[in-house]
Chains A and B, each alone.
Chain A
Amino acid sequence: MMEPQNMQDPASPSGEIELVVFCSGEQSFSLDIRHVREIRGQSAVTPLPHAPEEVLGVMNLRGAVIPVFDLSSCFGLGPTVPDQRNVIMIAMNDARTIGLLVQSVSEIVSIPHSSIQDAPTVVGGPGQSHISGLVQLAEGMSRVIDLPDLIQRRIPVPA
C-alpha cells in the first residue's frame, strides 16, 4: 500500500485544507479530503448479523471486505432516506478502510486551516462525538468529521 504516512496529521496552521462537503440527515458535514479515497454510487451491501443500526453491512471494494456505516445514524439523525443522490464515500484511516453512506455530496472546498473552529462543547447525544471542528461555508455551518474517532468508536475491538 502506498498511502501517505501522515494522513491524520493536520496541515500546518497557515496552510490550506481541502474538505469534501456533503449532506447527511439534512445537515452539512465535511471530511478532510486526504481521508477520502473515492466516492461511489450506492451498491448492494451484505448485512452483518446483530450489527448495530448504523452498520449497514459489508461491501466488496475490489476484493476487500469493508464495512459500510450509515453516517446519519452514526450522528443519531436516523437512517438515511433512500434517494438517487445517495453515495458511499470510501474513507481510510491508517490501515482501515470503511464506507460511509451519505445523503449527497455537494462540493470540495479549499479553506485555510485556521478557519476551522473548535467544536463547542454542546450538550448532546451521539451527535457530539466524531466532530473535530466547525467551519463556516457559504451555505452555512458544516461539521468537520473526526474520522479516526469515528472508526475507533464504531468498530468492535478485534479479538
Chain B
Amino acid sequence: MPCMLRVDILVKFKEGVDDPEGKSIKHALELLGFEKVKTVKVGKMYTIYLNCDKEEGYEIAESMVRKLLVNPVIHEYEIRVEEV
C-alpha cells in the first residue's frame, strides 16, 4: 500500500528578476537595525500531502508546477518529497 507523502514546493523569483516585496522587507529590517542584511528574497511554499510513492510524487509535483504553481519566465522552484 502506498504511504503518505509530504511534498513541499518552494517557488521564488529567479536570480536577476526584481523582487519588490523582498526589497521593502530588507528596508524595514535595516530600519530595525539589522545592518548586515544584504538581500531578502521572498518566496511561497506549498505543502501538499499525496497518497502515492516517492517517484510518482515527484512526477505529480512537477506537473502541478508546470500547470499552475510556477510561471517559468520569472520563477525558479524546488521540490522536496518526504514520506510521513
**Are A and B interaction partners?**
no
Q: Give me the interface of A with B, judged by CB distance under 8 Å.
A: none
